[in-house]
Structure 1
Amino acid sequence: MSVDLTINSYFNEIKKKKISGTQCKECGRIHLPPRVICDHCKSQNLDIIELAGEGTLQAYSVVYVPNSKMVAAGFGRENPNCVGIVKMSEGPMVSAEIYGFDLSEPEKIKIGTSVKAKFIERGESVILAFEV
């Protein structure tokens, strides 16, 4: 079976509000975003799978000086945003925007907090984010 493992196919799935990864048929490792070669056992025998969209916050940063795309989305010194690393329930980790915390008190953000996928429409793009 031929599978489309391009980054474009990954983002097309995000637009459909689905998170696709690959799972190695040899060792079981799950990759996000999808890969053509398993980074664990180097097998090229992978299947595309859909991830549940749940995970835990592993690291975060509150951003007060954002890039130009985030400024265009309304973020800045007076309206910071949060980015973080999420460990998906299936195992792989992904970086994304994080929503649902009171960013006026960032010290209250707790590593290990459960988060769920949130798909944000921004212009013609759909962004994978997570929220508490």
Structure 2
Amino acid sequence: ESPDVRTAETEKLLDYGFRFFETQSVNDISHQVPVYKSKQANIKVGVSDTSFLTLPRNQFKYTTQTINLAGDLIAPINKGDQVGTLVISFSDEDIATLPLIALEDATEGGIFTKMIDTIKLMFR
């Protein structure tokens, strides 16, 4: 094939991709999760690395996000600590598994908070 034919076919492929697919950042995904023995009842968690997903146009609303925590979160937790994974699924298929990090600190609570949360954890 000549270079002109290859160029034309490449343009068709790129046009198809730009017309029927879209890319979105997943960095603005964040969730609140419970933290035990902390001054805060919950902390915000999300993804740290710049990550993007490309899906057919107008299909992002059909994705599901599953948080898999690495056990119960117990203070202290520092901003940036990995606390689990975020699994993004589309059409019942996992399409991305990303590290889930703490987006804020969870400082230790007082003695009363620690005692109450210890009892809560015993009955979970």
Same fold (TM over 0.5): no
Q: Which protein, 1 or 2, shows the higher relative CO under an 8 Å CA cutoff with sep ≥ 6?
A: 2
Structure (1/2) with the larger helix percentage: 2
Structure (1/2) with the larger strand percentage: 1
* TM-score scaled by length of structure 2: 0.27
* TM-score scaled by length of structure 1: 0.26
